[in-house]
Copies of this chain bind each other. A is one copy, B any other.
Amino acid sequence: MSDPVIICCAITGSVPRKSDNPAVPVTVAEQIESSHEAFEAGASIIHAHVRNDDETPTSDPDRFAALKEGLERHCPGVIVQLSTGGRSGAGRERGGMIPLRPDMCSLSVGSNNFPTRVYENPPDLVDWLSAEMAAHGVVPEIECFDLSHLFQAAALHADGRLPQRPYCQFVMGVRNAMPADRVAFDAMLTTKRHLFGDAPWCAAGIGRHQLELNEWAIAAGGHART
Q: Which A residues form the contact surface with B (CB < 8 A)?
A: 110-113, 115-124, 126, 145-148, 151-152, 155, 176-179, 181, 183-184, 187, 190-191, 194
Contacts and interface: CB of A to CB of B under 8 A. Distances in A.
Contacts of A147: 146-148, 178, 184, 187
Tell me which of A145, A146, A148 has the highest count of chain B C-beta atoms within 10 A of its own C-beta: A148
A220 to B, nearest CB: 16
Total identical chains: 2
B115 A112 contact: no
A123 B113 contact: yes
8 contacts: A110-B176, A111-B111, A111-B119, A117-B123, A118-B121, A146-B148, A147-B187, A187-B187
Contacts of A148: 112, 145-147, 177-179, 184
Contacts of A116: 122-124
Given A145-B148, A146-B146, A148-B147, A187 B191 contact: yes
